[in-house]
Amino acid sequence: MKLQKKVVTNKNLSKFNSLQISVKAKYYIECKTDSDIKEAFQFIKKNKIKFLILGEGTNVVFTKPFDGLIIKNLYKKEKKIYKNKVKVSSGYKWDRFVSFCIKNSLYGLENLSGIPGTVGAGPIQNIGAYGEEISNYIEHIEVFNFRTGNVETLNKINCNFDYRNSVFKKNKHLFIKNVFFKLKNKFIANNSYQDLKVYRFKKASELREIVLKIRNQKLENYLTKPNVGSFFKNPLIEKKDLKRLIAKEADIKFYKHNALIKVSAAWLIERCNLKGLQLNKARVSKKHSLVLINEDKKPNSILKLKNKIKTIVLTKYNIRLEEEPTIIL
Ligand SMILES: Cc1cc2nc3c(=O)[nH]c(=O)nc-3n(C[C@H](O)[C@H](O)[C@H](O)COP(=O)(O)OP(=O)(O)OC[C@H]3O[C@@H](n4cnc5c(N)ncnc54)[C@H](O)[C@@H]3O)c2cc1C
């Protein structure tokens, strides 16, 4: 196989995923420019190999060596403001972008402060926190289509945004290049989320500081306690099933989600007495029951632990928990 200039072989990925799992990628390329993206495209086309787009690896679980090309996104071409609209390239760090918007008096994203990862990964699972979702502020998205080699634009409707979901989850050949946001010129605090209700914010920067402080207290630092944030989504169930659950557990924690009910996955895990559970070299955080900490360079323990949690919750409540991070098979 003839290697392209920038493609390297046998790259260890332990520094490129927040679980610090040590697996090797057969091929690896860093994409900083449009020509790097084209080089990756040519390589895939020529060699007919599988590929994976990788941001900062804070929402992926590698399960074995990756027998294809890892496309590491470092694309930072533009960050441009036009009145209340911003075009931003996908390789920028998400939290630095949030801070940039606040400094430029553009509001809406402040509740999403402190979420690790790149701008380009944000739309994939429609990142959300503290009563906001990224999709509330996206106007359209520019992608490089790795099947055709074309650059395409998807408007918000075509992105099919939903709770931790979007069209991109099932279309892994679409590389998000640039995201176009429509933000607010006036700061109106969204303190609808329980933890924020007690505050009266005058400035977006104050809200950001509080969100960062709460996150710091509640979540585990992935640099010292390798994790991917919430390992499970809050399951969505039918209203009729909620009645059955309430009959069993009167204090079950839930929220309305359109025509469905969103049940707190953290509540389910805690009610099954799984908070703090250790299995070999992985454990459920004592601080936050949705966070699984990996104390190994291998994926075995964390995969066993998440399966055990799923089985116990299914047996007790007949609810199937779904993983939030992308499991790379
Ligand atoms: C401590 C911690 C706290 C977290 N808190 C939150 C939170 O509050 N809310 C929340 O929603 N998430 C949270 N997360 C999850 C994670 O930070 C987000 O999902 C983030 O957007 C992932 O960014 P990334 O660059 O690391 O993506 P990666 O992990 O590298 O990739 C995630 C997925 O997106 C795909 N992808 C990445 N970039 C692109 C691109 N440019 N084009 C196409 N596909 C792409 C990948 O193939 C993969 O499937 C948390 C994670 C950690 C470790």
Q: Output the 3-class SS for 230-288.
A: ECECCCEECHHHHHHHHHHCCCCCEEEECCEEEECHHHHHHHCCCCCCEECCEEECCCC
- From the list 230, 285, 289, 301, the catalytic residue is 230
Q: How far is the CA of 320 from the centre of ligand 1 (A)?
A: 22
pLDDT at 5: 79
Last residue of a domain, one of 73, 98, 128: 73
The CATH number covering residue 48 comes to 3.30.43.10
CA distance 169 to 70: 17
For residue 224, is it within any domain?
no
For residue 227, is it within any domain?
no
11 beta partners: 25
CA-nearest residue, atom 4 of ligand 1: 229
324 is catalytic: yes
Q: How far is the CA of 54 from the centre of ligand 1 (A)?
A: 9
Check if 121 has its Cβ closer than 6 Å to any atom of ligand 1: yes
One domain, residues 21 and 85: no
Asked if residues 9 and 15 have their Cβ atoms less than 8 Å apart, the reply is no
Q: What is the DSSP letter of 134?
A: G
For residue 223, is it within any domain?
no
List average pLDDT for each run of 10 residues in the chain, which is 329 residues long: 82 98 98 97 97 98 98 97 97 98 98 98 98 98 98 98 97 98 98 96 98 98 98 96 94 95 98 98 98 97 98 97 97
Asked if residues 278 and 291 have their Cβ atoms less than 8 Å apart, the reply is no
Check if 166 has its Cβ closer than 6 Å to any atom of ligand 1: no
One domain, residues 205 and 97: yes
Last residue of a domain, one of 73, 95, 130: 73
One domain, residues 12 and 66: yes
Last residue of a domain, one of 22, 47, 73: 73
Token pair in block for residue 10:
């046998």
Check if 269 has its Cβ closer than 6 Å to any atom of ligand 1: no
35 is catalytic: no
One domain, residues 84 and 213: yes
- Domains identified in the chain, total number: 3
244 is catalytic: no
CA distance 108 to 95: 13
For residue 286, is it within any domain?
yes
User: Taking Cα atoms as reference points, which of 94, 90, 77 lies closest to residue 174?
Assistant: 90
Q: Which residues contact 91 (CB under 8 A, 6 or more apart)?
A: 31, 32, 55, 73, 74, 75, 76, 118, 119, 120
Q: Which domain holds residue 99?
A: 79-218
CA-nearest residue, atom 51 of ligand 1: 229
One domain, residues 93 and 146: yes
- pTM here? 0.97
User: Taking Cα atoms as reference points, which of 151, 172, 191 lies closest to residue 69?
Assistant: 172
For residue 57, is it within any domain?
yes
One domain, residues 252 and 212: no
CA-nearest residue, atom 38 of ligand 1: 121
Check if 183 has its Cβ closer than 6 Å to any atom of ligand 1: no
One domain, residues 176 and 133: yes
CA-nearest residue, atom 52 of ligand 1: 229
One domain, residues 60 and 151: no
The length of the chain is 329
For residue 289, is it within any domain?
yes
Q: Determine the residue of 59, 119, 127 to mutate for testing ligand 1's pocket, defined as the one with the most ligand atoms within 8 A of the Cβ atom.
A: 59
pLDDT at 141: 98
Q: How far is the CA of 168 from the centre of ligand 1 (A)?
A: 12
From the number of C-beta atoms within 10 Å of its C-beta (0-12, 13-18, 19+), residue 184 rates as: middle
24 beta partners: 12
pLDDT at 1: 61
Structural Rg of the chain based on CA atoms: 20
CA distance 109 to 134: 7
pLDDT at 172: 98
